[in-house]
Structure 1
Amino acid sequence: MAKWFISTASIIYGELRGFFSGVFALDNKDDFLEPPKKDLKGGLARPLDFIASRIAAFFLIGLLFSPYASKKITPALALLGTIMVHIILSRRKRKKAKIFDAKLKRYAACNNVYSKIKEMGAGDFRIFVTQVLGRLKGFSDVGPSCDDKYIICKFNGRTVAAVSNNRQDGEVKKGEIINFVKFMQNAGLDRGIFITLSNFSDGAVDYIQKIKNETRIVLVDGNKFLEWIRLSEHDLFPQGEVLEKLLEKEKQKEKVLTLKKKNVRNRTLMRSFSLVTIYLTALCLIMQHWLEQW
């Protein structure tokens, strides 16, 4: 029974936390490989949140003005303040909706690109990286090194070395960074770019920080590289009708996923409310019996 009480309390806490975070927070996290999260509140929860927030604003504003205004003016000031709060919250809601739509479109495009480039071989991926760098502002004279393992280019007139791998599983370790640094030293370069579809280990990042006075290396993970592809306006990045079709598919997936999550959540809430009803009924019977004896 204790577990059911804990479960009910956690659900109530989650609802309160979700309400306040939904009102005061905007999701600005940039992760192009993660679909944006949508508000899963049901049809009853949203109007209740709407009404509760406005009523709370009305009484709070009235309480703040009551020591300085008469009883006749205070309700008018509270109403005016509530209208202003309503306008602010409505604009914030529209802004969140626009951010969600933009992130869903960006996710659909990036996910499509990622699924294509992760299937490339090492040589094809190196050629693709060369094309992307060549289209980015500031880069010029982009081409392969003598051994065809690295990329040599100029950034704002300064020669830079670049290395790429399209491995998705596992992190780029410190050893791979050391090998790249050795190549740069042999080539007489002190600026480099390491591009990967995966992430970098803490050891690799720490090593970059230690050598930054002698050698500067920019670490580009999968998320950042997808942004570079978008900025380069490469042909592989979907645009126009292709992007709209991808967006429509993602919206359909998002609707199905949202319905599944709502069903699970509603079943959990129904079990919790049923348990609370049983407890309250039992408590009423006990109190009735106790009052009769008293």
Structure 2
Amino acid sequence: MPDMTAVVLDAAKTFWWLIPLFLFAAIVKSPWFKGMIGEAIVKLAARLQLPKETYIPIHNVTMPCKASPASTRANGKSSTGGNESDSEEEGTTQIDHIFVSRFGIFVVETKNMRGWIFGSEKQATWTQKIYRQSFKFQNPLRQNYKHVKTIEAALNIPADTIHSVIAFVGDCTLKTDMPANVTQNAGFIRYIKSFTQTVFTEEEAQRLVAQIQAGRLTPSFKTDRQHVKHLKNRESKKPEKQCPRCGSAMVLRKAKRGANAGNEFWGCSAFPKCRAVENPI
């Protein structure tokens, strides 16, 4: 019987180069790497097409987040559909790109994705479809809403001077009608440049940049690690099942009448405002 140790060692010597290859492939496919590439693409496009003397860029900004109470309506809903409890949640938020100009502040959320993208402004989750596979992801408009409100609270400026921009990059196609601020590839450049009315002086714009720089957490591996820890803690506190329409918790209920009497179903906890229901799996 051959010495298996010797066989294993011989195989390792022959195929050692496969190990770094597999590691590299795993890194390239990771969400972290895809996100980093997407942010780099947006950063490069902005450097080439948004003059720095007009649009001052600030990238990878991590800030303490607590939205201004004044930004929410009396009924608990924000002007863009987010709810009050989300807006006032404390912790940190990480913003991909901020561009400060005389024409306003543009908060850009990057999505490096492929396949077909389906979604609407009011949906809690959007769908990515690659061939026959479908994947759910958070509505980026809602995700960026928190970023916008964090900037609004930190700078104490009117909400209408801050603009949310979603920049999809990569080999993807937006298959449903999207708001103008949901863009693809270099579309975010055109959207930003479409604002031509001056709302800040040059001095005010410079002051706002200084405020953002002073309020951000120091860019470092430690800051990124703490932010990821905060996200994991927040995810662990989410309800077991969320409403696909409004994002509220789903509650397991039992039908009392009709053909389905006695059967269990998932109903939105925001009923009767939201009447979304789902059958249990």
- For Structure 1 versus Structure 2, the TM-score category normalised by the shorter chain is under 0.3
Give the strand-richer structure, 1 or 2.
2
Structure 2 length-normalised TM: 0.21
Q: Considering fraction of residues, name the structure with more helix.
A: 1
Bigger Cα Rg: 1
